[in-house]
Amino acid sequence: MAQDFDVAVVGLGAAGAASLHALARAGVSAIGLDRFVPPHDHGASHGETRMLRVAYGEGAGYSPLAARAKQLWREIEARTGARLYEETGLVYAGPHSSPFLAETWRAGQLHGLGLSKLAPGARSGLGFEVPGDWRCILEPGAGFLYAERAIETLLGEAQALGAEIVTDRRVLAVRPTEDGVEIEADAGGVRARRAVVCAGGWTAGLLPELAPLLSVERRTIHWFADPERARTPAAGFRPFYIEDEQGLAVYGLPNWGGTGVKIGEHIEGVAQTSPEEVDRAVHAEDEARLRAMAARWFKDLGPVVKSQTCLYPMSRDQDFILDRLPSDRRITVLAGLSGHGFKFAPALGEAAAAMTLGEAPPLDLSMFALSRFAP
């Protein structure tokens, strides 16, 4: 049977937009489908900004991938003229016992990222206070991405290179056939030789064999007023990641363009939910919990000017899943980005495209293989 496309990409959040982009750049005929109109606020890829760090506290093994992604973001900026990345530097703070900070420092040393330790005297002007005996690290080459603009740009360039994009189209099943993969959808299905599934928190519904490895958590983010513009990059305020003695972290991004200071929490043990059942309203207790955590470092947080809910599609070990399905090698999955995947999108998309086309990815990403979960 004739196939409509070489590759179909299911889901066009950060992961799928980047995969489609890489496939289009590789010159294959590709189609991307999404149940909404990306960029949208139903999944994990919205909220204006995303941190980009290369000294990687989750594991120094991520640093080459982050560096590759940063290079690719820069190349996309140069080709399209879109401004996607602000290199503001980023400050990490936490007690000396923090494994995350220790790994951040180690990754910085291992990969020559020019990190510096900020002594208590050098910390005034950061815009927050941390105990004098804490570890405080500056990563000068880190910064933040414009999330929705980045997705628009990836999709725009993919389309300009010939990729087809179908929105408001819900994929119901991804089914291997004798000579390809059938993408069944609520209107007009598609046949392709291969498929890449990047459905974020919806992935387990499409690939039930992966359900034991995936879960979904709910997070909220809040923007705090900054009327005096004291927390802008121009005022020396940088993105930050502060972890306390219990390992609870708040992270934030500066007031950029007058939207306020964005602050979120990175915590463990959050109840599992699903994209269908998740409570998408933001409640007073969400803001109160975050405000209480942040108040230790920020004495004068203004009122909240905006809040959003967001999904964290998690893998069982919080490392990404990027592999071809053992049950059918024509289907690649890129999922479980576990609350830290946006920065990597173009490098993950590049690798997903290579794998799908039967080529070796530019970097060894075997740490994301499904075989790591084998009993």
Ligand X SMILES: Cc1cc2nc3c(=O)[nH]c(=O)nc-3n(C[C@H](O)[C@H](O)[C@H](O)COP(=O)(O)OP(=O)(O)OC[C@H]3O[C@@H](n4cnc5c(N)ncnc54)[C@H](O)[C@@H]3O)c2cc1C
Stretch that binds ligand X, among 31-39, 72-80, 114-122, 287-295 (CB under 6 A): 31-39
Among 7, 31, 51, 158, the residue binding ligand X under the rule CB under 6 A is 51
Q: Which amino acid type is present at position 347? A: A
Chain positions 53 to 112 lying near ligand X, rule: CB under 6 A, are: none
Among 5, 31, 32, 45, the residue binding ligand X under the rule CB under 6 A is 45
- Contact between 21 and ligand X (CB under 6 A)? no
Among 20, 21, 31, 47, the residue binding ligand X under the rule CB under 6 A is 47
CB 320 within 8 A of CB 349: no
Q: Which is nearer to ligand X, 241 or 298 (CB)?
A: 241
Full DSSP string of 169-208: --EEEEEEETTEEEEEESSS-EEEEEEEE--GGGHHHH-G
Q: Which is nearer to ligand X, 128 or 240 (CB)?
A: 240
Among 36, 176, 235, 302, the residue binding ligand X under the rule CB under 6 A is 36
Q: Which is nearer to ligand X, 94 or 122 (CB)?
A: 94
Among 233, 313, 349, 361, the residue binding ligand X under the rule CB under 6 A is 313
The site that binds ligand X (CB under 6 A) totals a number of residues, namely 40
Helix (H, G, I), strand (E, B), or coil: what is residue 263? Answer: strand
Full DSSP string of 215-227: EEEEEEEEEE--T
- Contact between 195 and ligand X (CB under 6 A)? no
Q: Which is nearer to ligand X, 10 or 192 (CB)?
A: 10
Could you tell me which of 333, 340, 288 has the C-alpha nearest to residue 310? 340
CB 54 within 8 A of CB 63: yes
Stretch that binds ligand X, among 20-28, 37-45, 104-112, 128-136 (CB under 6 A): 37-45
CB 362 within 8 A of CB 346: no
The site map against ligand X for 201-230 (x = CB under 6 A) is xx---x------------x-x---------
Helix (H, G, I), strand (E, B), or coil: what is residue 261? Answer: strand
Distance from the first to the final alpha carbon of the chain: 38
Ramachandran class of 358: left when φ > 0, alpha when ψ lies in -120 to 50, beta otherwise: left
> Whose CB is nearest to ligand X?
13
Stretch that binds ligand X, among 35-43, 94-102, 292-300, 366-374 (CB under 6 A): 35-43
